[in-house]
Structure 1
Amino acid sequence: IIIAQFLFLDAEGKGKDIKFYINTPGGSVTAGMAIYDTMQYVKSDVSTICVGIAASMGAVLLAAGARGKRFSLPNSEILIHQVMGGFEGQASDIKIHSEHILRIREKLNKILAKHTGQPISTIEKDTDRDHFMSADEAVKYGIVDKVIIK
């Protein structure tokens, strides 16, 4: 439904920014990548606003907003980490899935590096384990541009 809303707002908005409020513990990487691709596709700028938490794929989407239009409320938290998954089956299938998840990790790290301005080596190190940030730390990291204070 988010993708449909982006497309509708882009078509109807005539150049107006699309505001995307994010409060999520994360979720499916494939669903998140579909949202990411749509954010990059629409002509309208997508302004991202973290309200609560932007974890995992949510942090990637938060960072992917239009430069200068990525915000966080002061008590929000941001979490980046490497992609997770679990598999069972034959050894050959497990190998296929493990190679796939490593490719996804590499893709997400490149996306974070692109949108934050951090070197890929920093992203790889910081996403190796759960890396929580406050709103102010997320500004310094390049995930958001500004903390919104009344």
Structure 2
Amino acid sequence: MKKFWNWVKNEEGRTLYLDGVIAEESWFGDEVTPRQFKSELMNEGGDITIWINSPGGDVFAASQIYNMLMDYKGQVTVKIDGIAASAASVIAMAGSEVFMSPVSMMMIHNPMTIAFGDTAEMKKAIQMLSEVKESIINAYELKTGLSRIKLSHMMDAESWFNSKKAVELGFADGIMFQNESEETSPEEGMIYSQMAVVNSFLHKLPQREKKTGTDISILDKRLELLKF
């Protein structure tokens, strides 16, 4: 297992860097990696700071890390300096305080998997994804206080938040490098969804492509660029 985390210790205390994909190889059923991560986390006490810049990854790894951090006795401060998307956003919810860079982003969406088999196996996969989604909502709900229905809808839409919107919704507690006297204006926060981006793109297509429908391959290629 390639380590996706790095501990640094200085006069300010211990800092954990999560940079890149969370567990490029799934650690589901793996006993070594989770134990190693927990050992390094619990090796010393005191407050810790976690810097996150990750597009996400293994939801099982993220869930276990979330649990370990929630159970940690010291203060856990999370700082998002780039992106905390998908599984990485779950880990961020374990922070006693969560701060985002003014130029950082957070993304939440429905869990995904690859499945094969007959109808029964497909139904099992759907049920599994549904349960995983509910478990993820538990973490979001605990941090934000938002309703499960609203959180579910945001995950369905694959929602992207800038720092101000994340604070407004309760996913973050503050914005880094901002003076305490500065107030965040709710109207300045922005939330983006994949569907909104696609719809906006379709409205900007040349009318001749909409009317004739002859250049479907070009349209498909353009839509492909919108996938995250």
Fold conserved between structures, TM > 0.5: yes
Do 2:66 and 2:93's aligned partners in 1 also have CA atoms closer than 8 Å? no
Q: How does 1:56-75 map to 2 (within 5 A)?
A: 56-66=86-96, 69-75=97-103
Corresponding residue for residue 45 of structure 1: 75
Q: Is structure 2 residue 62 aligned with structure 1 residue 21? A: no
Q: Secondary structure at the match of 1:102?
A: helix
AA aligned to 1:83 is P
Q: Distance in 2 between matches of 1:9 and 1:102?
A: 30
Deviations 1:99-132 (A, max 9, x none): 1111101111122111111111110111112101
* Residue 80 (1) aligns with residue 108 (2): yes
- State the distance in 2 between where 1:18 and 1:47 align: 6
Q: Aligned ranges for residues 107-122 of structure 1 at < 5 Å?
A: 107-122=135-150
> Match for residue 140 of structure 1?
168
2:99/2:172 contact within 8 Å kept:
yes
Amino acid across the alignment from 2:59: V
Preserved contact between residue 10 and residue 44 of structure 1 (Cα < 8 Å): no
Q: Following TM superposition, by how much is the alpha carbon of 1:44 offset from its aligned partner in structure 2, in angstroms?
A: 1.4
Q: Could you tell me whether the CA contact under 8 Å between 1:139 and 1:146 is conserved in 2?
A: yes
- The code of the aligned residue for 1:130 comes to E
> Is contact 1:53–1:78 with CA below 8 Å preserved after alignment?
yes
> How many Å separate the matches in 2 of 1:80 and 1:9?
26
Q: CA contact under 8 A between 1:63 and 1:142: conserved in structure 2?
A: no
How many residue pairs end up in the alignment? 146
Deviations 1:52-83 (A, max 9, x none): 000011112112211xx211111000101111
Identify the range of structure 1 (3-12 vs 104-113) with the bigger mean alpha-carbon deviation.
3-12
In the alignment, is residue 130 of structure 1 matched against residue 130 of structure 2?
no
Higher relative contact order (CA 8 A, sep 6+): 1
Structure 1 position 102 matched with structure 2 position 130: yes
Which structure 2 residue ranges, 5 or more long, are not aligned? 6-33, 179-228
Identity %: 27
Moved over 6 A (4+): none
More helix by share: 1
| Equivalent AA in structure 1 for residue 64 of structure 2 | A
Bigger Rg, structure 1 or 2: 2
Does residue 32 (structure 1) correspond to residue 51 (structure 2)? The answer is no
State how far apart, in whole Å, the 1-side matches of 2:37 and 2:113 are. Answer: 29
Note the C-alpha offset of 1:136.
0.9
